[in-house]
């Protein structure tokens, strides 16, 4: 997930990274069975795991090569293009879905970490972003109140409320046209007056093993 924490700095930030909530099945009290790592993961990620989360993991897991383009903007009249990479994988025990990303930005290389999980109380995806260009590195406040994440089996969207000079903007990032070998990733900014501008576009191609 990428967002500008400050439009003038044109920073790219992770938004989203994701996870699968797993639930432990009760074992039969009088029967003890040896369990391998694979069978343990299979048990933890049983039918009670949220279907949307499992399909999100299936859609984006793996390593992707990126072609990044930033649109022309104030302070960057010619825009910016470059290459990067993005990897998604499940966390320990299958409780989280993690994104690790390296992309070019106008402020230099952006090293990003995104963590996504399923919140059983709100029945929704939740996420937190970390970015080497943020002074506080990880956006704990945003994870609690500013980020909305949606997955409809076709596109993965992250919306985040941001404040710049006392004015609120909305960062809207979408992974769309997802296939086993490619996706399109876009980032738009909605200003307080309601106008929306495209900030960046990324073309992802699955890396060969």
CA distance linking residue 12 with residue 5, whole number of Å: 7
Least confident of 17-21, 79-83, 100-104, 135-139: 17-21
Domain extents in the chain: 37-206
Which burial class, exposed, middle or buried, applies to 39 when counting CB atoms under 10 A from its CB (0-12, 13-18, 19+)? exposed
How many beta carbons lie within 10 A of that of residue 14, not counting itself? 31
Evaluate whether 104 touches 133 at the Cβ level (below 8 Å).
Answer: no
Pick 50 or 133 by higher pLDDT.
133
The reported pTM is 0.74
The percent of residues above 90 in pLDDT, for the chain, comes to 54
Q: Could you tell me the fold of the domain covering 37-206? A: Lipocalin (2.40.128)
Which burial class, exposed, middle or buried, applies to 33 when counting CB atoms under 10 A from its CB (0-12, 13-18, 19+)? exposed
Pick 101 or 107 by higher pLDDT.
101
Condensed to tens digits (0 to 9), the pLDDT of residues 42-92 reads: 444 443 446 778 889 999 999 999 999 999 988 888 999 999 999 999 887
Measured at the CA of 52, the angle between CA 46 and CA 56, to 5 degrees, comes to: 100
Least confident of 27-36, 90-99, 149-158, 196-205: 27-36
The structure tokens listed for 185 are 């990733």
Question: Strand 124-131 vs strand 110-119: parallel, antiparallel, or unpaired?
Answer: antiparallel
Helices and strands in the chain: count of H runs, count of E runs: 3, 10
């Amino acid at each position: 997930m990428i967002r500008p924490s400050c439009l003038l700095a044109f920073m790219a930030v992770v938004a989203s990274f994701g996870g699968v909530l797993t639930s432990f099945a009760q074992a039969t009290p009088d029967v003890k069975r040896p369990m391998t790592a694979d069978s343990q993961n299979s048990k933890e990620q049983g039918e009670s795991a949220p279907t949307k989360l499992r399909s999100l993991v299936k859609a984006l897991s793996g390593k992707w090569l990126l072609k990044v383009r930033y649109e022309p903007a104030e302070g960057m009249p010619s825009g910016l293009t470059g290459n990067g990479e993005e990897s998604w994988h499940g966390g320990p025990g299958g409780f989280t879905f993690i994104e690790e990303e390296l992309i070019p930005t106008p402020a230099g290389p952006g090293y990003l970490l995104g963590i996504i999980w399923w919140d059983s109380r709100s029945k929704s995806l939740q996420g937190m972003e970390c970015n080497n260009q943020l002074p506080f590195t990880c956006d704990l406040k945003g994870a609690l109140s500013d980020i909305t994440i949606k997955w409809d089996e076709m596109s993965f969207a992250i919306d985040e409320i941001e404040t710049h000079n006392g004015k609120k903007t909305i960062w809207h990032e979408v992974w769309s046209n997802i296939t086993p070998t490619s996706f399109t990733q876009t980032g738009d900014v909605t200003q307080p007056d309601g106008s929306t501008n495209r900030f960046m576009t990324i073309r992802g191609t699955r890396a060969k093993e």
